């Protein structure tokens, strides 16, 4: 685009109402580069700026076997997403903290894996067979409870309806703003400052204590390697968040309802068998 054309567009923008000017300025970073192709530097910037990034869900993110389509204009089929949620259950609800765990840049779209994708909730491993006596009886079959309210994983396809233009990670975050808020740092800091002092200290020390909720555990020690639901003999439902890989120390954080009610540690060898639980420090 020539300098003359840019000046004409800027002059036109100044004649618009303030609200329209604000919208134009928000979209300008993407529009200015619309005629340029995605470069190798752009790809590196996208990977660095979005891989492993955390965001707060601003809308229901359903689990889906296929990537959920989201247009680069900021539009998406809310009804189709709702139907996917009814069929496969939610990956995250508004307000949940999620993470971009993988992304793939294709010719006309960028596919984001959220919280390990749909495989994250169902992938089998040695952890599915660890028995340490938490919760009374054995684990509930997670395949039969895939429509539970527990957070899971999904994937989102950002569609450009043509070759991806020159674009940066910050531009993509703006496009995804209707469903994901990547500006979580300040909100997290304010949230932690309002928590009881013991919980604040535990989060800052990367430890879990009894009484924490799921968001607080995520802030303290991150996402678990595996989740397992159990039902005790009296019908009480619990959920274990399991951290660590064999061989080594395995930590089990048990939730009853929304709160941590037990923290146990065990040693697992390469085969996955565990020694008696250790006393948690």
Quickly tell me which residue has 């500006």 as its tokens: 183
Question: Rounded to whole angstroms, how far apart are CA atoms 223 and 212?
Answer: 14
Question: Rounded to whole angstroms, how far apart are CA atoms 237 and 249?
Answer: 25
Question: Rounded to whole angstroms, how far apart are CA atoms 163 and 145?
Answer: 40
CATH code linked to domain 188-268:
3.30.1450.10
Cβ–Cβ < 8 Å for 10, 136: no
Question: Rounded to whole angstroms, how far apart are CA atoms 99 and 151?
Answer: 12
Question: Rounded to whole angstroms, how far apart are CA atoms 278 and 14?
Answer: 68
Cβ–Cβ < 8 Å for 110, 157: yes
In the chain, domain spans: 36-118+153-182, 188-268
pLDDT tens digit at each of 281 positions of the chain: 444 444 444 444 444 444 444 344 344 444 435 568 899 889 988 988 888 788 889 999 999 989 999 999 999 999 999 999 899 999 998 888 888 889 999 999 999 999 888 875 443 333 333 333 333 333 333 333 332 233 578 999 999 999 999 999 999 999 999 999 988 555 566 667 778 999 999 988 999 999 999 888 988 888 888 899 999 888 899 999 999 887 888 999 999 999 999 999 888 766 555 544 444 44
């Amino acid at each position: 685009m020539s300098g003359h054309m840019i000046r004409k567009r800027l002059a036109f923008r100044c004649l618009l109402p303030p609200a329209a000017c604000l919208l134009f300025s928000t979209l300008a970073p993407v529009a200015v580069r619309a005629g340029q192709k995605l470069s190798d530097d752009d790809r590196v910037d996208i990977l660095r700026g979005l891989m492993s990034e955390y965001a707060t869900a601003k809308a229901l993110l359903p689990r889906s076997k296929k990537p959920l389509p989201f247009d680069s204009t900021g539009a998406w089929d809310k009804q189709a997403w709702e139907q996917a949620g009814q069929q496969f259950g939610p990956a995250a609800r508004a307000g949940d903290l999620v993470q971009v765990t993988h992304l793939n840049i294709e010719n006309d779209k960028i596919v984001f894996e959220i919280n390990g994708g749909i495989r994250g909730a169902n992938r089998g491993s040695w952890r599915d067979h660890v028995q340490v006596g938490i919760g009374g009886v054995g684990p509930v079959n997670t395949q039969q409870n895939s429509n539970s309210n527990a957070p899971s994983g999904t994937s989102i396809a950002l569609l450009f309806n043509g070759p991806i233009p020159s674009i940066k990670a910050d531009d993509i975050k703006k496009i995804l703003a209707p469903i994901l808020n990547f500006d979580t740092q300040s909100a997290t800091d304010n949230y932690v400052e309002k928590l009881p002092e013991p919980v604040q200290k535990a989060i800052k020390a990367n430890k879990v204590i009894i009484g924490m909720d799921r968001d607080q555990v995520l802030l303290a020690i991150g996402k678990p390697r595996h989740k397992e639901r159990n039902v005790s003999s009296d019908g009480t439902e619990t959920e274990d968040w399991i951290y660590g890989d064999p061989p080594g120390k395995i930590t089990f954080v048990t939730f009853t309802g929304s709160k941590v009610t037990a923290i146990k540690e065990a040693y697992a060898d390469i085969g996955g068998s565990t020694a008696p639980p250790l006393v948690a420090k």
